[in-house]
């Protein structure tokens, strides 16, 4: 759904809500992108772009959609197909690989719904693999989001480690938990591998236990206090960013994403990363290993430069330098520094990331930086039109659109105050008030 159609639908929904006297929840549209294969010799001149669109039009959850764009980079660029990559029998090859993954984790999918990939199956390329993408509800429950299946390309260099999922699903009247816990295999140091796997699984299961306890406690409190309890949610999933092997300088980088919902308008995402070298004796991989002794100065300067390019996307003076143990992962020749939600930017930015090229790495194609105000005529707030001159729309590095809170608050008749010491914004209107704290 494009912006114009969603604006029209949102206005119709707001009018209907007003007529029928029920609450109206603002609609949402978020479009983000990721360049997964940036051409050049290292990627066999293949360019692959993944675009994620998220829409919310009421109800408990929104709807994600994935679009992909694949082509060769030459004097005459051409579309890149799965048949180009896997040959004439590409459907049989890919279908068999997907069914094998489903059989290993049957509770995570609707196996009977998979009848084979389509003629226009979405996919993208990353680290010597074709990643087959399905839309939400195509072959799995909604909690799985947009399921992906990674299939090594024919003739690709050994990809190092592989990751399979250990799934844990639990649904009660108090909690819905969907855990896809990564299990590494193929490392040279099997003892270190076992330690990493045990650590990740233990953290995920401890998180589930704590959520169950918290949900029960808050449910009991809601019955005593007479308010409605909404079931809590826990979602754990992972992305293998660097799989080791010669193509990745024997570096393994794994990102584990945890989402918790415990009431309110939005949940809380948390990102954990695991970085290490794959050798006879595996070792943790640090930013100092990658950037040298002056790594903090190098990375701080790069982050400050990116923030300075888009100051309205971030909290002023919130970034004071990376910590001694920053969250990061390694991907496509970059170190990607990750910050927690609200740490350096408004909540709409999610978990902000800053990509910094590794010393000695090269990039054939660089994704465009986020622009200044989006060239759009304007948008509506509660039926009132605002121009982008009065309320500039910005797009952050993740492709998320941001608008000035003060302008929106004024339009809706709210008073906005800012407590710089507490880094807390308060919206108030009559007896209503709401506070948001940024990192």
Q: Coil, strand, or helix at residue 85?
A: helix
Residue in 406, 402, 336, 339 with CA at minimum distance from that of residue 367? 336
Burial readout 314-334 (b: 16 or more C-beta within 10 A, e: otherwise): bbeeebeebeeebbbbbbbbb
Write out the H or E segment, with its range, that includes residue 334.
Answer: strand 334-338
Question: Looking at residue 157, what is its pLDDT?
Answer: 54
Model confidence pLDDT, tens digit, residues 212-253? 999 999 999 999 999 889 999 999 999 999 988 877 888 999
What distance in Å separates the CA atoms of residue 201 and residue 373, rounded to the nearest whole number? Answer: 43
Instruction: Give the HSE-up count for residue 142: Cα atoms under 13 Å, Cβ half-sphere.
Output: 7
Is residue 394 within 8 A of residue 401, CB to CB? The reply is yes
Average pLDDT, the chain: 84
What distance in Å separates the CA atoms of residue 11 and residue 27, rounded to the nearest whole number? Answer: 9
Model confidence pLDDT, tens digit, residues 350-359? 899 999 999 9
* Greatest C-alpha distance within the chain: 70
Model confidence pLDDT, tens digit, residues 137-194? 999 888 788 899 988 888 765 457 888 888 888 889 999 999 999 999 888 888 999 9
Q: Which domains does the chain have, with CATH numbers?
A: 1-156 (3.90.640.20), 185-284 (3.30.565.40)
- Please state the separation of Cα 333 from the chain's center in Å: 19
350 vs 322, more confident: 322
State the CB neighbour count (10 A cutoff) for residue 119: 8
First to last CA, the chain: 33
Residue in 397, 284, 294 with CA at minimum distance from that of residue 330? 284
Q: Coil, strand, or helix at residue 387?
A: strand
Model confidence pLDDT, tens digit, residues 292-317? 999 999 999 999 999 999 998 999 89
Q: Coil, strand, or helix at residue 379?
A: strand
Model confidence pLDDT, tens digit, residues 30-60? 899 999 999 888 788 999 999 999 888 887 7
Contacts of 276 (CB under 8 A, 6+ apart): 192, 196, 251, 252, 282, 283, 284, 285
């Amino acid at each position: 759904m494009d912006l114009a159609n969603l604006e029209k639908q949102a206005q119709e929904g707001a009018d209907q809500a007003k007529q029928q006297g029920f609450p109206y929840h603002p609609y949402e549209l978020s479009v983000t992108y990721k360049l997964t294969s940036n051409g050049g010799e290292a990627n066999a001149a293949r360019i692959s772009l993944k675009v994620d669109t998220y829409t919310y039009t009421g109800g408990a959850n929104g709807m994600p959609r994935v679009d992909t764009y694949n082509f060769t980079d030459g004097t005459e660029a051409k579309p890149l197909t799965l048949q180009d990559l896997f040959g004439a029998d590409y459907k049989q090859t890919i279908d068999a690989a997907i069914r094998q993954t489903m059989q290993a984790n049957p509770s995570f999918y609707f196996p009977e719904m998979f009848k084979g990939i389509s003629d226009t199956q979405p996919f993208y390329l990353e680290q010597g693999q074709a990643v087959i993408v399905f839309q939400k509800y195509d072959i799995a429950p909604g909690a799985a989001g947009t399921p992906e299946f990674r299939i090594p390309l024919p003739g690709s260099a050994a990809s190092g480690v592989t990751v399979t999922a250990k799934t844990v699903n639990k649904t009660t009247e108090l909690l819905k938990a969907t855990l896809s816990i990564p299990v590494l295999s193929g490392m040279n140091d099997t003892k270190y591998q076992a330690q990493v796997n045990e650590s990740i699984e233990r953290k995920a299961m401890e998180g589930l236990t704590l959520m169950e306890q918290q949900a029960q406690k808050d449910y009991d409190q809601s019955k005593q206090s007479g308010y409605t309890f909404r079931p809590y949610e826990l979602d754990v999933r992972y992305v293998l960013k660097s799989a080791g092997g010669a193509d990745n300088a024997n570096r393994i980088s794994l990102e584990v994403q945890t989402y918790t919902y415990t009431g309110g308008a939005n949940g809380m995402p948390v990102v954990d990363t695991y970085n290490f070298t794959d050798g006879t004796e595996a070792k943790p991989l640090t930013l100092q290993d990658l950037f040298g002794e002056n790594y903090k100065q190098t990375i701080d300067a790069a982050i400050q430069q990116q923030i300075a390019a888009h100051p309205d996307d971030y909290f002023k003076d919130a970034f004071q330098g990376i910590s001694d143990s920053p969250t990061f992962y390694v991907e496509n020749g970059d170190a990607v520094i990750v910050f927690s939600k609200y740490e350096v930017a408004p909540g709409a930015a999610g978990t902000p990331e800053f990509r910094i090229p590794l010393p000695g790495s090269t990039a054939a194609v660089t994704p465009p930086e986020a622009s200044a105000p989006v060239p759009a005529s304007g948008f509506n707030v509660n039926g009132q039109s605002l121009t982008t001159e009065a309320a500039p729309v910005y797009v952050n590095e993740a492709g998320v659109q941001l608008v000035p809170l003060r302008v929106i608050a004024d339009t809706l008749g709210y008073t906005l105050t800012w407590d710089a010491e507490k880094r807390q914004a308060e919206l108030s209107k009559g007896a209503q008030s709401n506070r948001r704290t940024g990192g």
